[in-house]
Protein backbone atom coordinates (compact mmCIF):
# COMPACT_ATOMS: atom_id res chain seq x y z
CA UNK A 1 0.00 0.00 0.00
CA UNK A 2 1.67 3.23 -1.11
CA UNK A 3 1.18 6.23 1.09
CA UNK A 4 -1.48 8.56 -0.33
CA UNK A 5 -0.86 12.28 -0.62
CA UNK A 6 -2.17 14.49 2.16
CA UNK A 7 -3.84 17.84 1.65
CA UNK A 8 -4.51 20.52 4.20
CA UNK A 9 -8.12 21.21 5.23
CA UNK A 10 -9.70 23.69 7.62
CA UNK A 11 -10.67 22.35 11.04
CA UNK A 12 -11.44 23.42 14.59
CA UNK A 13 -8.83 21.98 16.90
CA UNK A 14 -7.60 22.19 20.46
CA UNK A 15 -3.91 22.33 21.35
CA UNK A 16 -4.23 21.05 24.93
CA UNK A 17 -6.55 19.82 27.66
CA UNK A 18 -7.34 23.34 28.90
CA UNK A 19 -7.13 25.20 25.58
CA UNK A 20 -10.30 26.27 23.74
CA UNK A 21 -11.06 24.90 20.31
CA UNK A 22 -10.02 27.28 17.53
CA UNK A 23 -9.57 27.46 13.76
CA UNK A 24 -6.66 25.46 12.43
CA UNK A 25 -5.72 23.15 9.59
CA UNK A 26 -5.18 19.39 9.51
CA UNK A 27 -3.93 16.91 6.91
CA UNK A 28 -6.44 14.64 5.14
CA UNK A 29 -5.41 11.91 2.73
CA UNK A 30 -6.45 12.00 -0.90
CA UNK A 31 -9.01 9.23 -1.55
CA UNK A 32 -7.46 5.77 -2.02
CA UNK A 33 -9.15 2.98 -4.00
CA UNK A 34 -12.06 2.40 -1.63
CA UNK A 35 -12.29 5.87 -0.11
CA UNK A 36 -15.13 8.35 -0.13
CA UNK A 37 -14.29 12.06 0.22
CA UNK A 38 -17.05 14.01 1.93
CA UNK A 39 -17.63 17.73 2.25
CA UNK A 40 -18.93 17.98 5.80
CA UNK A 41 -22.17 19.95 6.08
CA UNK A 42 -23.14 19.29 9.72
CA UNK A 43 -21.44 17.74 12.72
CA UNK A 44 -23.14 16.86 16.00
CA UNK A 45 -21.57 17.66 19.39
CA UNK A 46 -21.28 14.55 21.54
CA UNK A 47 -20.25 14.50 25.19
CA UNK A 48 -17.38 12.23 24.07
CA UNK A 49 -16.03 15.16 22.05
CA UNK A 50 -15.58 17.09 25.28
CA UNK A 51 -14.02 14.14 27.14
CA UNK A 52 -11.58 13.75 24.26
CA UNK A 53 -10.79 17.46 23.78
CA UNK A 54 -9.99 17.78 27.49
CA UNK A 55 -8.06 14.48 27.65
CA UNK A 56 -10.43 13.12 30.28
CA UNK A 57 -9.78 9.59 29.01
CA UNK A 58 -6.01 10.11 29.11
CA UNK A 59 -5.11 9.17 25.53
CA UNK A 60 -5.59 12.44 23.63
CA UNK A 61 -2.76 13.59 21.34
CA UNK A 62 -2.72 17.28 20.41
CA UNK A 63 -3.69 18.99 18.24
CA UNK A 64 -7.03 17.20 18.56
CA UNK A 65 -10.14 17.55 16.39
CA UNK A 66 -13.35 16.04 17.85
CA UNK A 67 -16.59 15.22 16.02
CA UNK A 68 -18.09 11.84 15.10
CA UNK A 69 -21.64 12.71 14.10
CA UNK A 70 -20.86 13.69 10.54
CA UNK A 71 -23.11 14.25 7.54
CA UNK A 72 -22.21 15.79 4.22
CA UNK A 73 -22.01 15.39 0.49
CA UNK A 74 -19.68 13.16 -1.47
CA UNK A 75 -17.19 15.16 -3.55
CA UNK A 76 -14.93 12.41 -4.85
CA UNK A 77 -14.65 8.60 -4.69
CA UNK A 78 -11.82 6.11 -5.24
CA UNK A 79 -11.93 3.84 -8.32
CA UNK A 80 -13.15 0.78 -6.40
CA UNK A 81 -16.00 2.52 -4.55
CA UNK A 82 -19.38 1.04 -5.47
CA UNK A 83 -21.85 2.47 -2.94
CA UNK A 84 -21.31 6.21 -3.51
CA UNK A 85 -20.85 8.72 -6.27
CA UNK A 86 -20.12 12.44 -6.14
CA UNK A 87 -23.21 14.39 -5.09
CA UNK A 88 -24.60 11.67 -2.81
CA UNK A 89 -25.38 12.40 0.82
CA UNK A 90 -23.16 10.45 3.22
CA UNK A 91 -22.60 10.01 6.93
CA UNK A 92 -19.72 8.98 9.19
CA UNK A 93 -20.01 7.92 12.81
CA UNK A 94 -17.50 6.85 15.45
CA UNK A 95 -15.58 4.32 13.34
CA UNK A 96 -13.55 4.82 10.17
CA UNK A 97 -11.59 1.58 9.77
CA UNK A 98 -11.10 -2.03 10.92
CA UNK A 99 -9.70 -5.23 9.43
CA UNK A 100 -13.17 -6.54 8.36
CA UNK A 101 -11.85 -10.11 8.64
CA UNK A 102 -11.71 -10.83 12.39
CA UNK A 103 -14.57 -12.71 14.10
CA UNK A 104 -16.05 -9.45 15.44
CA UNK A 105 -16.02 -7.71 12.05
CA UNK A 106 -17.50 -10.79 10.43
CA UNK A 107 -20.37 -10.63 12.92
CA UNK A 108 -20.95 -6.99 12.03
CA UNK A 109 -19.52 -5.81 15.35
CA UNK A 110 -16.65 -3.71 13.99
CA UNK A 111 -16.73 -1.66 17.19
CA UNK A 112 -15.21 -4.60 19.07
CA UNK A 113 -12.51 -5.38 16.52
CA UNK A 114 -8.97 -5.15 17.90
CA UNK A 115 -8.02 -3.17 14.78
CA UNK A 116 -10.93 -0.73 15.05
CA UNK A 117 -9.96 2.87 14.15
CA UNK A 118 -11.96 5.66 15.73
CA UNK A 119 -12.94 8.77 13.81
CA UNK A 120 -10.76 10.78 16.17
CA UNK A 121 -8.06 9.77 18.61
CA UNK A 122 -6.85 6.72 16.66
CA UNK A 123 -4.18 6.35 13.97
CA UNK A 124 -4.84 6.73 10.23
CA UNK A 125 -3.02 3.71 8.80
CA UNK A 126 -2.68 5.38 5.37
CA UNK A 127 -0.93 8.53 6.56
CA UNK A 128 0.54 7.21 9.81
CA UNK A 129 -0.98 10.25 11.51
CA UNK A 130 -3.71 10.65 14.15
CA UNK A 131 -7.29 10.57 12.95
CA UNK A 132 -9.13 13.88 13.08
CA UNK A 133 -12.87 14.23 13.61
CA UNK A 134 -15.70 16.04 11.95
CA UNK A 135 -15.14 19.60 13.17
CA UNK A 136 -13.56 20.14 9.76
CA UNK A 137 -14.53 20.92 6.18
CA UNK A 138 -13.74 17.51 4.69
CA UNK A 139 -13.18 13.89 5.66
CA UNK A 140 -11.98 10.86 3.70
CA UNK A 141 -13.30 7.44 4.81
CA UNK A 142 -13.32 3.88 3.50
CA UNK A 143 -16.73 3.22 1.94
CA UNK A 144 -17.45 0.35 4.35
CA UNK A 145 -17.51 2.96 7.13
CA UNK A 146 -19.54 5.48 5.13
CA UNK A 147 -23.31 5.46 5.62
CA UNK A 148 -26.11 6.23 3.18
CA UNK A 149 -28.44 9.00 4.38
CA UNK A 150 -32.21 8.91 3.71
CA UNK A 151 -33.07 11.86 1.49
CA UNK A 152 -36.35 12.70 3.23
CA UNK A 153 -34.88 13.80 6.57
CA UNK A 154 -33.61 17.17 7.83
CA UNK A 155 -29.90 16.65 7.25
CA UNK A 156 -28.68 18.65 10.25
CA UNK A 157 -30.96 16.63 12.54
CA UNK A 158 -29.62 13.39 11.05
CA UNK A 159 -26.05 14.10 12.23
CA UNK A 160 -26.64 12.99 15.88
CA UNK A 161 -28.05 9.68 14.65
CA UNK A 162 -24.48 8.65 13.77
CA UNK A 163 -23.59 8.36 17.47
CA UNK A 164 -26.51 9.14 19.80
CA UNK A 165 -28.87 7.35 17.42
CA UNK A 166 -27.01 4.09 16.98
CA UNK A 167 -25.92 4.05 20.65
CA UNK A 168 -29.55 3.81 21.73
CA UNK A 169 -30.96 1.91 18.73
CA UNK A 170 -28.50 -0.96 19.02
CA UNK A 171 -29.22 -2.11 22.62
CA UNK A 172 -32.99 -1.68 22.12
CA UNK A 173 -32.71 -4.02 19.12
CA UNK A 174 -30.24 -6.40 20.78
CA UNK A 175 -32.57 -6.89 23.75
CA UNK A 176 -35.55 -7.25 21.38
CA UNK A 177 -37.65 -4.35 22.62
CA UNK A 178 -41.08 -4.39 21.03
CA UNK A 179 -44.85 -4.44 21.48
CA UNK A 180 -46.11 -5.73 24.84
CA UNK A 181 -42.94 -4.68 26.62
CA UNK A 182 -42.46 -2.04 29.28
CA UNK A 183 -39.27 -0.10 28.66
CA UNK A 184 -37.57 2.53 30.79
CA UNK A 185 -35.29 5.29 29.57
CA UNK A 186 -33.15 6.81 32.31
CA UNK A 187 -32.04 10.37 31.63
CA UNK A 188 -33.49 12.67 28.99
CA UNK A 189 -30.48 14.11 27.18
CA UNK A 190 -28.83 13.59 23.82
CA UNK A 191 -28.91 9.81 24.17
CA UNK A 192 -32.11 9.50 26.20
CA UNK A 193 -34.30 11.54 23.86
CA UNK A 194 -33.29 9.23 20.99
CA UNK A 195 -33.95 6.20 23.19
CA UNK A 196 -37.50 7.43 23.80
CA UNK A 197 -38.14 7.93 20.08
CA UNK A 198 -36.82 4.48 19.14
CA UNK A 199 -38.50 2.57 22.00
CA UNK A 200 -41.80 4.22 21.06
CA UNK A 201 -41.31 3.46 17.37
CA UNK A 202 -40.58 -0.19 18.25
CA UNK A 203 -44.01 -0.41 19.90
CA UNK A 204 -43.03 -0.61 23.57
CA UNK A 205 -44.71 1.09 26.52
CA UNK A 206 -42.14 3.79 27.29
CA UNK A 207 -41.43 5.25 30.73
CA UNK A 208 -38.93 8.08 31.13
CA UNK A 209 -37.03 8.44 34.40
CA UNK A 210 -35.77 11.92 35.09
CA UNK A 211 -34.50 13.80 38.12
CA UNK A 212 -36.24 16.91 36.91
CA UNK A 213 -40.04 17.15 36.97
CA UNK A 214 -39.68 20.02 34.48
CA UNK A 215 -38.87 17.54 31.73
CA UNK A 216 -42.25 15.79 31.99
CA UNK A 217 -43.99 17.65 29.15
CA UNK A 218 -41.06 17.27 26.84
CA UNK A 219 -40.72 13.54 27.59
CA UNK A 220 -44.37 13.02 26.68
CA UNK A 221 -43.97 15.08 23.51
CA UNK A 222 -40.98 12.94 22.49
CA UNK A 223 -43.07 9.78 22.84
CA UNK A 224 -43.02 8.64 26.47
CA UNK A 225 -46.25 7.12 27.83
CA UNK A 226 -45.27 7.85 31.44
CA UNK A 227 -42.72 9.94 33.29
CA UNK A 228 -41.29 9.01 36.69
CA UNK A 229 -39.38 11.51 38.79
CA UNK A 230 -36.62 9.24 40.07
CA UNK A 231 -36.03 11.24 43.26
CA UNK A 232 -39.53 10.23 44.36
CA UNK A 233 -39.13 6.85 46.10
CA UNK A 234 -42.88 6.15 46.07
CA UNK A 235 -43.15 6.76 42.33
CA UNK A 236 -40.22 4.39 41.82
CA UNK A 237 -41.64 1.67 44.09
CA UNK A 238 -44.92 1.62 42.19
CA UNK A 239 -42.98 0.22 39.20
CA UNK A 240 -41.01 -2.48 41.10
CA UNK A 241 -40.47 -5.69 39.17
CA UNK A 242 -42.33 -4.57 36.04
CA UNK A 243 -39.78 -3.51 33.40
CA UNK A 244 -38.59 -5.79 30.62
CA UNK A 245 -35.78 -3.45 29.67
CA UNK A 246 -34.22 -0.25 30.95
CA UNK A 247 -31.79 1.85 28.93
CA UNK A 248 -29.60 3.92 31.23
CA UNK A 249 -28.29 7.01 29.45
CA UNK A 250 -26.86 8.79 32.50
CA UNK A 251 -23.14 9.52 32.77
CA UNK A 252 -23.31 11.01 36.28
CA UNK A 253 -23.07 8.84 39.39
CA UNK A 254 -26.45 7.38 40.31
CA UNK A 255 -27.93 4.41 42.16
CA UNK A 256 -28.31 1.56 39.70
CA UNK A 257 -29.77 -0.82 42.29
CA UNK A 258 -32.91 1.31 42.46
CA UNK A 259 -33.41 0.64 38.73
CA UNK A 260 -32.42 -3.04 38.88
CA UNK A 261 -35.25 -3.51 41.40
CA UNK A 262 -37.68 -2.22 38.78
CA UNK A 263 -36.83 -5.04 36.36
CA UNK A 264 -39.15 -8.02 35.93
CA UNK A 265 -37.62 -11.52 35.95
CA UNK A 266 -35.19 -11.86 33.04
CA UNK A 267 -35.21 -8.08 32.63
CA UNK A 268 -32.10 -6.29 31.48
CA UNK A 269 -30.64 -2.87 32.25
CA UNK A 270 -28.13 -1.65 29.70
CA UNK A 271 -25.70 1.18 30.35
CA UNK A 272 -24.85 3.50 27.50
CA UNK A 273 -23.82 6.40 29.69
CA UNK A 274 -20.51 5.69 31.36
CA UNK A 275 -20.21 6.97 34.93
CA UNK A 276 -16.54 7.43 35.82
CA UNK A 277 -16.59 5.76 39.24
CA UNK A 278 -17.41 2.07 39.71
CA UNK A 279 -21.10 1.50 40.43
CA UNK A 280 -21.95 -0.51 43.57
CA UNK A 281 -24.22 -3.38 42.51
CA UNK A 282 -26.16 -5.48 45.04
CA UNK A 283 -25.83 -9.13 44.01
CA UNK A 284 -29.34 -9.91 45.30
CA UNK A 285 -30.85 -7.39 42.88
CA UNK A 286 -29.48 -9.56 40.06
CA UNK A 287 -30.01 -13.01 41.60
CA UNK A 288 -33.70 -12.53 42.41
CA UNK A 289 -35.33 -12.43 39.02
CA UNK A 290 -32.30 -13.57 37.00
CA UNK A 291 -31.84 -9.93 36.03
CA UNK A 292 -28.90 -8.71 34.03
CA UNK A 293 -26.84 -5.56 33.76
CA UNK A 294 -25.09 -4.88 30.48
CA UNK A 295 -23.24 -2.26 28.54
CA UNK A 296 -23.48 -1.36 24.90
CA UNK A 297 -21.11 0.55 22.63
CA UNK A 298 -22.50 2.29 19.52
CA UNK A 299 -23.22 -0.41 16.91
CA UNK A 300 -21.68 -2.05 13.86
CA UNK A 301 -21.85 -0.56 10.40
CA UNK A 302 -24.65 -2.76 9.04
CA UNK A 303 -26.79 -1.96 12.07
CA UNK A 304 -25.99 1.75 11.77
CA UNK A 305 -27.25 1.67 8.18
CA UNK A 306 -30.35 -0.25 9.32
CA UNK A 307 -30.96 2.45 11.95
CA UNK A 308 -30.64 5.25 9.40
CA UNK A 309 -33.01 3.46 7.02
CA UNK A 310 -35.45 2.93 9.91
CA UNK A 311 -35.26 6.64 10.70
CA UNK A 312 -36.02 7.46 7.08
CA UNK A 313 -39.05 5.17 7.08
CA UNK A 314 -40.34 6.46 10.43
CA UNK A 315 -39.29 10.08 10.02
CA UNK A 316 -37.09 10.02 13.10
CA UNK A 317 -34.33 12.55 13.72
CA UNK A 318 -32.71 14.19 16.70
CA UNK A 319 -34.06 17.35 18.32
CA UNK A 320 -31.25 19.81 17.74
CA UNK A 321 -29.99 23.29 18.40
CA UNK A 322 -27.86 24.56 15.54
CA UNK A 323 -24.68 26.45 16.36
CA UNK A 324 -21.86 28.05 14.43
CA UNK A 325 -18.38 26.55 14.64
CA UNK A 326 -17.09 29.39 16.82
CA UNK A 327 -19.85 28.71 19.38
CA UNK A 328 -18.57 25.23 20.19
CA UNK A 329 -16.61 26.19 23.32
CA UNK A 330 -19.71 27.82 24.80
CA UNK A 331 -21.75 24.79 23.69
CA UNK A 332 -19.42 22.53 25.71
CA UNK A 333 -20.12 24.60 28.83
CA UNK A 334 -23.85 24.45 28.19
CA UNK A 335 -23.66 20.68 27.57
CA UNK A 336 -22.02 20.27 30.99
CA UNK A 337 -25.06 22.01 32.48
CA UNK A 338 -27.44 19.80 30.42
CA UNK A 339 -28.59 23.05 28.85
CA UNK A 340 -29.43 21.70 25.39
CA UNK A 341 -32.54 20.21 23.80
CA UNK A 342 -31.19 17.78 22.92
CA UNK A 343 -28.11 17.93 20.74
CA UNK A 344 -25.93 20.73 19.44
CA UNK A 345 -25.17 20.45 15.74
CA UNK A 346 -22.51 22.59 14.10
CA UNK A 347 -23.34 24.20 10.76
CA UNK A 348 -19.99 23.52 9.11
CA UNK A 349 -20.57 26.26 6.51
CA UNK A 350 -19.62 28.58 9.36
CA UNK A 351 -16.10 27.11 9.41
CA UNK A 352 -15.45 28.43 5.93
CA UNK A 353 -16.56 31.93 6.78
CA UNK A 354 -14.03 34.63 7.54
CA UNK A 355 -13.49 35.95 11.01
CA UNK A 356 -12.96 32.66 12.84
CA UNK A 357 -10.20 32.94 15.40
CA UNK A 358 -7.09 30.88 14.66
CA UNK A 359 -5.49 28.63 17.27
Interaction site with a copy of itself (CB under 8 A): 104, 109, 112, 171, 174, 257, 265, 268, 271-275, 278-297
Q: Is 217 exposed, middle or buried (0-12, 13-18, 19+ CB in 10 A)?
A: exposed
Measured from the CB atom, the residue of 257 and 327 that comes closer to a copy of itself is: 257
Measured from the CB atom, the residue of 158 and 263 that comes closer to a copy of itself is: 263
Measured from the CB atom, the residue of 24 and 167 that comes closer to a copy of itself is: 167
Measured from the CB atom, the residue of 195 and 273 that comes closer to a copy of itself is: 273
Q: Shortest distance, CB of residue 224 to a copy of itself, whole angstroms?
A: 24
Q: Answer whether 41's CB lies under 8 Å from 349's CB.
A: yes
| CA distances (Å), origin 41, targets 92, 141, 307 | 12, 15, 20
Q: Shortest distance, CB of residue 193 to a copy of itself, whole angstroms?
A: 20
- d(C-alpha 5, C-alpha 43), whole Å: 25
Please, which residues bridge with residue 245 across strands?
A: 183, 268
Q: Shortest distance, CB of residue 155 to a copy of itself, whole angstroms?
A: 29
DSSP state for residue 80 in the 8-state scheme: T
Q: What are phi and psi of 270, to 5 degrees?
A: -110, 130
Sign of CA dihedral 171, 176, 177, 181: negative
Q: Shortest distance, CB of residue 297 to a copy of itself, whole angstroms?
A: 5
Measured from the CB atom, the residue of 26 and 116 that comes closer to a copy of itself is: 116
Measured from the CB atom, the residue of 6 and 264 that comes closer to a copy of itself is: 264
Q: Answer whether 227's CB lies under 8 Å from 215's CB.
A: yes
Measured from the CB atom, the residue of 139 and 263 that comes closer to a copy of itself is: 263
- d(C-alpha 90, C-alpha 305), whole Å: 11
Q: Shortest distance, CB of residue 275 to a copy of itself, whole angstroms?
A: 5
Q: Shortest distance, CB of residue 6 to a copy of itself, whole angstroms?
A: 31
Q: Shortest distance, CB of residue 91 to a copy of itself, whole angstroms?
A: 22
Measured from the CB atom, the residue of 17 and 252 that comes closer to a copy of itself is: 252
∠ Cα 338 318 253 (to 5°): 35
Kindly report whether the peptide bond that precedes residue 63 is cis, defined as omega within 30 degrees of 0: yes
Q: Helix, strand, or coil here: 264?
A: strand
Q: Shortest distance, CB of residue 111 to a copy of itself, whole angstroms?
A: 9
Q: Shortest distance, CB of residue 263 to a copy of itself, whole angstroms?
A: 11
- d(C-alpha 68, C-alpha 46), whole Å: 8
Measured from the CB atom, the residue of 174 and 334 that comes closer to a copy of itself is: 174
Q: What are phi and psi of 332, to 5 degrees?
A: -60, -45
Q: Helix, strand, or coil here: 155?
A: helix
What b-and-e string marks burial along 129-157, b requiring 16 or more CB atoms within 10 Å of the CB?
ebbbbbbbbbbbbbbbbbbebbeebebbb
Q: Answer whether 331's CB lies under 8 Å from 45's CB.
A: yes
Amino acid sequence: MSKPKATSVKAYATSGATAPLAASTIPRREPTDRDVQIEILYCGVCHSDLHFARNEWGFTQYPAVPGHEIVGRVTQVGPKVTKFKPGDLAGVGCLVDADLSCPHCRKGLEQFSPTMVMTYGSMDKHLGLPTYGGYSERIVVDEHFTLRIPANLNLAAVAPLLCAGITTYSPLRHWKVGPGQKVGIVGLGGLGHMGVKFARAFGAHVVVFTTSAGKREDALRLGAHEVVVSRNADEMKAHAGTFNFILDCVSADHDLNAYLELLAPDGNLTLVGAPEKPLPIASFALIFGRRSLSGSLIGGLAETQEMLDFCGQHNITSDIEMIRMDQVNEAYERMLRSDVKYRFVIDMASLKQDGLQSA
